[in-house]
Structures are given as structure tokens and as C-alpha cells.
Amino acid sequence: MLAICVPTYNQIIGDLINELLTQSKKCAVPIEIIVLDDGSSEEFKVINRTSAFTQEIHYEELTQNIGRAAIRNRFLAHTKQTYLLFLDCDSLIDSTTFLDNYIDVIQRLEPSVICGGRTYPTQSEKTKNSFRWNYGVYRECRDEISRTHEPFTSFLTNNFVIKREVLEQLKFDERLTGYGHEDTLFGIALERNGINILHINNPVLNGFIEDNHTFINQTKESIANLIRVEQLYPNEALLKKRIKLLDASAKVAVFAPLFRLLFLLIKKPIERRILSGNLPLKAFDLYKLSYYFTLKKGSQL
């Protein structure tokens, strides 16, 4: 009935897989657990491949990194189950009924796509100076009611179930190999094809919070990938509706030269504030917008 699909990259996944194994053994329906390593460093592969759980799951290592879109499509070749549950490798399960919650919804409603949501750890000394934690809590965590109001905008790939036939029909765009926005594109594809998304309260805990320096780099990579998305889909009107950065940039495009100049002025002070964990989110929005115009100018040369 259900294949649990965990693409992993440079993460130790023992806690996640052990909890999934514990819960799957109590389920009254067939459950498979499949882990595909997308070209991780050897230090992570050594730990994951020698863990006891590899005897009870399908674990496979790819020789090179193929990207967040392609790795998800690859799971279709490893299972014949009707439904696939995708979980990010840094997820943690803090509900003992996590799998049962999904199975109950599948059996009652047979939806095409289900999104369970995400949460972050409560604030602590560890998260006090984490800008990534602050951004995640205030920008990424939404309850099922909020997500249901904007079902396609709220689609995230970190914790979702999809019918096999839907993924076979649409698939993730493998031309997008960098970091970010593969979920946005897939959400648009679902909307374009009239496939509904059911949002429920079945979150995973974001178990790994990137340090502030890594988050800066990921932000830049994500914006570079966004420009790549624009190039691949020049006529996709839904992009501006689904991505706030594109919507904002379209409204102020006439001032693009000023934003590029602004980026030169604010880059270092803003990044220092991010590294300290002390930056208002509105200032971060301005940083992203000015970086977008700067990078896009370079991509047009």
C-alpha cells in the first residue's frame, strides 16, 4: 500500500528510520521503507550503511548527486506500492501515530496528494541565535487550516504522500538540479492538471537546523535556482503568484538598478546580522530582492 521514500544527502538518518520501522511494524497494511543516498560524503555513507536498520529496508547509494528533483523520480523504479510517502532526511517523527494518521486518510478518502506539514523545535539556548530557526518558525510553519486556504502555494516536498499514478504522470522536472523551488514547480504542475492537495495536521519535526553561514549560502543558491526556473518557464504566469520574491520583483522592476546598488551597500552589514542571528525578517526580504536583481543582471550578460 505505502512506500516510505527518504532521499538522503549528507545526513545521519538512524533516528528517523528506526522510528519509521517501529511504527511500520504496527501497521495493518504493507509498508516499504526505501532510502536512496544522493551522492553523500563517505563519512555519512559509512554510518548509514552499517546501521542495523539497513537489513530491514531497501538502502541504495547513487555514485553521484543527481539533485532534489531527479532523486524523487528515481523512487518509482524501486517500488510498486500505490502510495508513496516522501520525507526529507533531516526530519524527525515526534508522533507515535504518524504513519497511522496517513494510512487512515488514505483508506477513507483515497486522495491524490496529502501534505502533513512541518514544525521546528521550541526555542532554546541552541536556537537563540539561529536565524534559520527564526525564519523557519515564522515563515515556513503553517497549520493545516492556513495551508488549506492556499493549498498549492503551501505544497512542500519535505512531508507529503502522493498516488503513484500521479507521480508517474507529472514527475519532478529533472532539469532543475540546484537547490530550491522543485516543490514550487511541482505544486504548479498539480494545479495545472487539476489535482487536489489535501492538507492535514501530521507534521514532521525539522530535526536539523543549518548554521547561519550555511543558510546564507542556501539562500543564494535558491535565488540562483529561481532565475533558472524563470528561464525554463518564461510563460508560466503562476510563478509570480506562487513565489513572493518574483511577485515583489515584478512590482519594482523599474528600480532594478537601484536595488543592485543597494545590494553592494547592504551585503556585508546584512550578512553580519544574519551570522549573529539578529536580523528582522523584513530586512532579509530586502536582502533577497536586491540579490535577485544583482544575480539576474549577471545571468543576462
pLDDT in tens, 134-165: 999 999 889 999 999 999 988 999 999 999 99
Is residue 176 located within the same domain as residue 293? no
The pLDDT value recorded for residue 301 is 41
CA pair distance 301, 299, nearest whole angstrom: 6
Residue 88, domain extent: 2-209
The pLDDT value recorded for residue 279 is 95
Average pLDDT estimate for 92-111: 97
- In this predicted model, which residue has the larger pLDDT, 75 or 300? 75
The pLDDT value recorded for residue 299 is 62
pLDDT in tens, 197-253: 999 999 999 988 899 999 999 999 999 999 999 999 999 999 988 999 999 999 999
* Final residue belonging to a domain, choices 176, 209, 242: 209
pLDDT in tens, 286-298: 999 999 999 998 7
CA pair distance 72, 6, nearest whole angstrom: 9
* Final residue belonging to a domain, choices 194, 209, 224: 209
CATH code of 79's domain: 3.90.550.10
Is residue 22 located within the same domain as residue 171? yes
Amino acid at 28: A
pTM above 0.85, yes or no: yes
CA-based R_g, the chain, Å:
20
- DSSP string covering 137-186, please? IIII---HHHHHHSTTTT--SSEEEEEHHHHHHH---TT--SSS-HHHHH
CA pair distance 41, 52, nearest whole angstrom: 20
Is the pLDDT at 10 greater than 70, yes or no?
Answer: yes
- In this predicted model, which residue has the larger pLDDT, 128 or 192? 192
Is residue 170 located within the same domain as residue 182? yes
* Final residue belonging to a domain, choices 209, 230, 251: 209
Is residue 174 located within the same domain as residue 248? no
Is residue 93 located within the same domain as residue 218? no
CA pair distance 20, 85, nearest whole angstrom: 11
The number of distinct structural domains making up the chain is: 2
